[in-house]
Amino acid sequence: DTEVTQTPKHLVMGMTNKKSLKCEQHMGHRAMYWYKQKAKKPPELMFVYSYEKLSINESVPSRFSPECPNSSLLNLHLHALQPEDSALYLCASSHPMSDTQYFGPGTRLTVL
């Protein structure tokens, strides 16, 4: 299995809602990443988990809360988002000693 899956594909939420994005991989990768991508812009790194521990937080606002419950799963909990948080959220995974990242299809998030 060489695939990173993400759910849901699309999400529309209000500014007072709480929602979660999910990412899963079964390639045995022990590093997992969350990126945010705005239209016509490159992906921006948000968080990196290595061996289920948060190793990088790129000064992301606390309304985004990552969680890595096990080596195959990565969640991104969303609360009190702003309209400017609307974007494509990409998950990726890799072996910790490799910089080859495999990307998921993304979740298109719209905040109303």
Partner 1 sequence: KNQVEQSPQSLIILEGKNCTLQCNYTVSPFSNLRWYKQDTGRGPVSLTIMTFSENTKSNGRYTATLDADTKQSSLHITASQLSDSASYICVVSARGSTLGRLYFGRGTQLTVWP
Contact residues: partner 1, CB under 8 A: 4, 6, 31, 33, 40-43, 45, 48, 50, 55-56, 88, 90, 92, 94, 96, 99-106, 108
Torsion of CA 36, 38, 42, 48, to 10 degrees: 0
Q: Which is nearer to partner 1, 4 or 111 (CB)?
A: 4
Shortest Cβ 16–partner 1 spacing (Å): 26
Minimum CB separation of residue 45 from partner 1 in Å reads 7
Is the CB of 6 or the CB of 76 nearer to partner 1?
6
